Amino acid sequence: MIAIIGLGTGGLYAARWIAMHHRNEKITIIEKRDYETYSPCSIPMVVEGKIKPEDIVHPFPKSKNVEILLAHEAVDIDINSKKIKANDLKTGEVKEINYDKLIYAPGAKPWVPPIKGADKEGVFTVRTVEDAIAIREYAETANKALVVGAGAIGVEMAYALRKRGLEVTIVEMMEHAFPTAIDKDMAKYVDERLNKEGISTIYGAKVEALIGTEKVEGAIINGDELNFDIVIMSTGVRPESALLRGKVDVDERGFILVDEKMRTSIDDVYAIGDCVRTPYGVIQLATTALNQAIVAAINATGGSAVLKKPNGAFVSAFGDYEVASVGTHGKIAGRGWSRLNPYSVEKIVMKVFIEEDGTIVGAQAVGKGASSRIDIVSALMRNKGKIWDLAYMEKSYCPEVCELYDVIKIAAENAMRRLKIEKYEV
């Protein structure tokens, strides 16, 4: 009997893997929302109006041994008797759910810095379908939006609101957009595109206060008072680890510590997704939650799986413009650009990082098609690929979609030029 707390990305894929591979295993999923799975990553598209809220909600595939308790909030876990207490949010009844193995996957919650006025009407965080609907409705009568934070969620939300016709400003305390994913020299292209879309950006600045009576009417940024009538706070998330605190090992920020088998410090309790720190660190992405879910599902059902070091492959997109990265910086960098295709004026720019023995350790790319280049690098990195594997890979070509001498080859060759190679195998 396996219990899963949270039917988000991690919980969904753990349950799905177990239901597919161990059809007789009984699974109970406890989820506080009253609808089944949804795609948080698609919220900006809902706000933009490209898709409807109901499009991003998907039912869990029917499986006879999977019981899904929707609108049930887990409120206590007794790790000795292996029982979970869950409140039925519709009836108020408290239920007890037994487990042999527990997969804990409650995700993270938005974090808002202590800014005066952040509790005013018209100030939103972004996580659920309800947030998407509320923002969309509020934006109908708003004119000027402030987005705080220029990470993926901030930039995607800024673009969505701009497409709805609002004037949009992004404020970011770091020096450029996507500060954890790309370098300043790459971010300058992103900024050019944001500005072309009509989105203003302010970097190296903090929001000191949000002002207004009940509703937000503006913000003080670097001492200047600016008018806004809707504010999106995309300032990070904190792990939802409360139910296991004091019971399993957590770090100083509240992330649950797990090993490479996704085991917590106590037997039979696995944790996955946005609430964990693995031996490789914290990565809060759907892609990471998915791989962690499969590892936990295999181990919880008697198999043996370990999580390899993730590369942190990342992409964010606004319109058809992509910002992608993988891995880290290396000692040597190679840079390059090519057009999207031989007849296009649009560019894709890429940077590849290697060590002195040619091992690829990371890459960054911006422009349409950036993610497909980063995925190639990510796949090679999984087996410690070398830069010549990238420079001389056989990349498919058709002028409709790319250049023959593609940015990926140009950037890789530029990195290779710095190595003393005696014989080339092309």
Residues that bind ligand FAD (CB under 6 A): 5-11, 30-33, 40-41, 43, 73-74, 105-107, 126-127, 152-153, 240, 273-274, 284-287, 289
**CA separation for the pair 108, 357 (Å, rounded):** 39
Least Å from the CB of residue 123 to ligand FAD? 16
Amino acid residing at 236: G
At closest approach, how far in Å is the CB of 373 from ligand FAD? 17
Q: Which is nearer to ligand FAD, 178 or 388 (CB)?
A: 178
**Residue in 41, 275, 398, 402 annotated catalytic:** 41
- Please report how close the Cβ of residue 353 comes to ligand FAD at its closest, in angstroms: 21
The helix (H) or strand (E) run that includes residue 85 is: strand 83-88
d(CA 36, CA 30): 11
Asked if 108 and 8 count as a contact pair (C-beta separation under 8 A), the reply is no
Nearest to 352 by CA among 404, 395, 407: 407
From CA 224, how far away is CA 253, in angstroms rounded? 33
Shortest separation between residue 102's beta carbon and ligand FAD, angstroms? 12
Q: How far is the C-alpha of 109 from the C-alpha of 285, rounded, in Å? A: 14
Nearby residues of 195 by Cβ (< 8 Å), 6 or more positions away:
201
- For residues 241 and 247, is the Cβ–Cβ distance under 8 A? no
41 carries an active-site annotation: yes
Indicate the residue whose CB is closest to ligand FAD.
8
Tell the smallest beta-carbon distance from residue 127 to ligand FAD (Å).
5
In this structure, what are the phi and psi dihedrals at residue 207, rounded to the nearest 5 degrees? -80, 120
Give yes or no for a contact between 324 and 315, defined as CB atoms under 8 angstroms apart: yes
Phi, psi of 290 (to 5 degrees): -65, -50
The Cα 335–Cα 348 span in angstroms is 11
Strands (E), 228-291: 230-233, 237-239, 256-257, 269-271, 276-277
Minimal distance, residue 345 CB to ligand FAD, in Å = 27
Q: Which is nearer to ligand FAD, 128 or 227 (CB)?
A: 128
Instruction: Please give the positions annotated as active site.
Output: 41
